[in-house]
Amino acid sequence: MLDESSLGSTKQVREFLHKIGPQNMVLLVGDIRQHQAVEAGKSFQQLQQSRMRTAQLDQIVRQKDSELLKVVEHLSKADVVTGIRMLQEQSRVTYRRPSTG
């Protein structure tokens, strides 16, 4: 299993895949919507675009607090404005303007 495979560069993923044998199986885990590799390439995303067999997680299980779960649902759909507003309303984050000393 290769976790956070979306962070691997093309060179790193290529080297990894060349080290496994033809009888071996590998599970690549990652999220193309999160950070990409520092070095060149988006190999995990490219493998998905090339019809690599994939499974997707569509249920959020980490957040047990129902109000925080609602926030995470908005953030997972890239609705950042609503998510941040909800965090502020729930007093989970605060914003203070910098002082103009």
The region of weakest confidence among 50-59, 69-78, 85-94 is 50-59
Provide the phi-psi class of 19: left if phi over 0, else alpha when psi is between -120 and 50, else beta.
alpha
Residues 43 and 8 sit within 8 Å (Cβ to Cβ): yes
- The Cα–Cα gap between 28 and 33 comes to 15
Minimum mean pLDDT among 22-26, 31-35, 62-66: which range? 31-35
* pLDDT at position 13: 85
Q: Which alpha helices (DSSP H) does 1-101 contain, by range? A: 10-19, 43-49, 66-76, 80-89
pTM of the model: 0.57
Alpha carbon 81 to its chain's center: 19
